[in-house]
Amino acid sequence: MAMNQLDALKQFTTVVADTGDFRQLSAFQPQDATTNPSLILKAVQKAEYAPLMTEAVARWRGQPLDEVMDRLIVRFGCEILSLIPGRVSTEVDARLSFDTAATVARGERIIALYQAEGIARERVLVKIASTWEGIQAARQLEERGIRTNLTLLFSFAQAVACGQAKVQLISPFVGRIYDWYKKQAGAGWDEAAMAGPNDPGVQSVRQIYQHYKRFGIATEVMGASFRNTGQIIALAGCDLLTIAPDLLAQLAASDAPVQRALDPDAARGLDLPAVEYDEAGFRYALNADAMATEKLAEGIRAFAADAAKLEQLMQAAA
């Protein structure tokens, strides 16, 4: 019997489930799982998860809203960790994306809440937007033994700065990069010509992966935000890939062949320039990349809006 694409992919890459809907996890047996404010918001609006929110709000009534929200997202994280062998990523409030000190404090609180539930800090990645301030917060958290996942990452400059900060893991967003280039091209977009290895989101992750492997940067690369299985297969061999349940199901239903596309040994042999950024250089490089500038800002706005909506639901439940 031929191996399905999901099992074939797992030979080369750690598969991560991108969902707040933890009841779906057992079907795909991912190693790790990632959540974000939008995914948690989506989950608490389903009948089977609504009691988690009601319970958190009732239990912590009278506490500041931001603390109740952290307790709720940690509750989801604990449920997820009971179903997977690896790590869960839990996001710091996106409204703190430009405040290093507040991000550090929130990251420490999230870890303390997990530890109070008996969860070892090694099983949690604190998720932070890849702004300059976020990357510096991650540097401080890593120095304190708290592992981080730098998200909303769209550019090589962001990846380089994350590597310099020695963060545990980055999540470059494939699908949102693809969305931007497709929208820019309008009627001129050729879907077939821009698929697979030619996809601009896939190319972005490949460049980051090759740079990290070539220069011995230990930060893990986890491709994220996929629009189709072609993008996923084109990144087979990436350290990790975080995939939504509908795409995991498509991979599980296909037995088309999967070959390693990213190879650490091949990357180590490449002739690539060394790159480093200070703050001014980072800000200039990010500013020079219109796609990354726009997508980072848009992503922070969307996550902040969903965090605010989650707060409104919690207030209504109180």
**Where in the chain are the domains?**
5-317
Which residues are registered as beta bridge partners of 17?
33, 243
pLDDT at 37: 86
Q: Which residues of 149-177 are buried (b: 16+ CB within 10 A; e: fewer)?
A: bbbbbbbbbbbbbbbbbebbbbbbbbbbb
**Amino acid letter for position 84:** I
Q: Read off the pLDDT band of 318 (50, 70, 90).
A: confident
CATH class (in words) of the domain with range 5-317: alpha beta
How far from the centroid of its chain's Cα atoms is residue 102's Cα? 20
Give the pLDDT confidence of 3-30 residue by residue, as tens digits: 999 999 999 999 999 999 999 998 999 9
pLDDT at 265: 97
Q: Which residues contact 288 (CB under 8 A, 6 or more apart)?
A: none
Q: Read off the pLDDT band of 111 (50, 70, 90).
A: very high
Task: Give the torsion sign (CA, 194, 197, 199, 200).
Answer: negative
Task: Indicate the helix (H) or strand (E) that contains 288.
Answer: helix 279-288
Measured CA to CA in angstroms, residue 84 lies from 27, 261, 307 at distances of 11, 26, 25
Percentage of the chain modeled with pLDDT above 90: 97
Measured CA to CA in angstroms, residue 276 lies from 135, 158, 279 at distances of 14, 11, 10
Pairing of strands 148-153, 169-172: parallel
Give the pLDDT confidence of 124-173 residue by residue, as tens digits: 999 999 999 999 999 999 999 999 999 999 999 999 999 999 999 999 99
Active site residue 127: yes
Give the pLDDT confidence of 241-256 residue by residue, as tens digits: 999 999 999 999 999 9
- Answer for the pair 69, 93: CB distance below 8 angstroms, yes or no: yes
- Answer for the pair 181, 194: CB distance below 8 angstroms, yes or no: yes
Active-site pick, 127, 166, 295, 309: 127
- What is the CA angle 131-135-141, rounded to 5? 140
> Does residue 88 sit in helix, strand or coil?
strand
Q: How many residues does this entry show for the chain?
A: 318
- Nearest by Cα to 70 from 45, 97, 35, 18: 35
Q: In this predicted model, which residue has the larger pLDDT, 317 or 318?
A: 317
Give the pLDDT confidence of 30-80 residue by residue, as tens digits: 999 999 989 999 999 999 999 999 999 999 999 999 999 999 999 999 999
Structure tokens at 19: 């969902």
- Answer for the pair 291, 153: CB distance below 8 angstroms, yes or no: no
pLDDT exceeds cutoff 90 at 317: no
pLDDT exceeds cutoff 80 at 1: no
Structure tokens at 311: 């707060």
pLDDT at 104: 98
pLDDT at 174: 98
Mean pLDDT for the stretch of residues 302-307: 96
State the burial class of residue 44 (Cβ atoms within 10 Å of its Cβ: 0-12, 13-18, 19+): buried
Task: Give the torsion sign (CA, 264, 162, 148, 307).
Answer: negative
**Amino acid letter for position 76:** F
Average pLDDT, the chain: 96
